[in-house]
Amino acid sequence: MTIPAEPLGDVHVNRRDSGHEQHERSCVAVARDLVALTKPRVTVIVVATMLGGAWVANRFAREQGLTGVSPGVVMLSLLATVLVVGGANTLNMYLERDTDGLMARTKNRPLPAGRISPRLALWFGLAISALSLVLFGLAVNMTTTLLGAFALFSYVLIYTPLKRKTTLALLIGSVPGAIPPLLGWTTVTDRVDGPGAALFGILFLWQVPHFLAISMFRSRDYHRAGLKVLPIERGDRHTRHQIVGYLVALVLVSLLLVPLGVAGPVYLAAAALLGLGFLGFGVYGLRPTVLGTRWAHRLFAISIVYLMLLQAALLIGA
């Protein structure tokens, strides 16, 4: 029996089409994994806090009779901020690829799972980091460029290696982590002053209880990976007291925006209520009958809601 020529041609076309589709899918998968290296969920907080800092600074500048900046400059600064944070996260994942493979929550990341090569991740991280600093320098101002460079290098070269050596790494890592709202402020003002420092302080102090909560319910993971976190080194009870201490400081610093002249009574009322609620749940965790892991999960969730609502109150009540 003779097989017609046309069906054979169709078969060959289908195979070529199939190979082309597989190639497209592989490119899409690599692109998706490269984006995953930048930690997109973290980027959401970065975008919100950076734009919040720029918004408040622009309102403040107009009230002081100063010249602000155009929306185009703010958008370019936002792009540079996203790139510098993405670059820092990518290089962090490159350096911690072995550690990530030991923890349940990180073992499926692109590098420990072997979906992309370490070399590709390294060059990608270096490329977007360099691009971010060039963009800051050409489109924004030198103050913002220096802050972006400081955040990048301190996160990658200081915070990342110290995570295996000391629990103080959390405080050190919270410094670059708190710079995005300050980048928004300096984009408009080209200076670091009281209100900008207060915005930085709010995010710095927020990060500590937020990440201590994570370290409480992920302590086994961190222990397996050999990372130094407070619940392992000093115990659960000490960690809870540290959380409450930083929450008290967070509430006080969040209220400073009012006497500094960048927020009004609407923000004051919201910040006080949100802060007392956040602090109240932290104090509740000091009771010996409260299960640490369950409480830490809830504190983590509350911390995210707190930051979102505080940000909204600042934008409305600036």
CA distance 104 to 92: 18
pLDDT of the residue at 60 = 85
pLDDT of the residue at 318 = 67
For the chain, give the DSSP string: -PPPHHHHHHHHHHHHHHHHHHHHHHHHHHHHHHHHHT-HHHHHHHHHHHHHHHHHHHHHHHHTT-----HHHHHHHHHHHHHHHHHHHHHHHHHTHHHHTTSTTTTTSTTTTTSS-HHHHHHHHHHHHHHHHHHHHHHS-HHHHHHHHHHHHIIIIIIHHHTTT-TTHHHHHHHHHTHHHHHHHHHHHSS--HHHHHHHHHHHHHHHHHHHHHHHHTHHHHHHHT---HHHHT-HHHHHHHHHHHHHHHHHHHHTTTTTTS--HHHHHHHHHHHHHHHHHHHHTTSTTS-HHHHHHHHHHHHHHHHHHHHHHHHHH-
CATH 1.10.357.140 fits domain 40-317:
yes
Structure tokens at 250: 């967070």
- Angle at 103 (CA atoms; ends 100, 106), nearest 5 degrees: 55
pLDDT of the residue at 195 = 94
pLDDT of the residue at 105 = 84
Structure tokens at 42: 């973290």
pLDDT of the residue at 138 = 96
* Count of beta carbons in the 10 Å neighbourhood of residue 256: 18
pLDDT of the residue at 19 = 52
CA distance 29 to 232: 37
Mean pLDDT (10-residue bins), the chain, 318 residues: 42 49 68 93 90 91 78 95 96 93 89 93 97 96 97 96 94 96 95 94 97 94 90 94 97 96 93 97 91 91 96 86
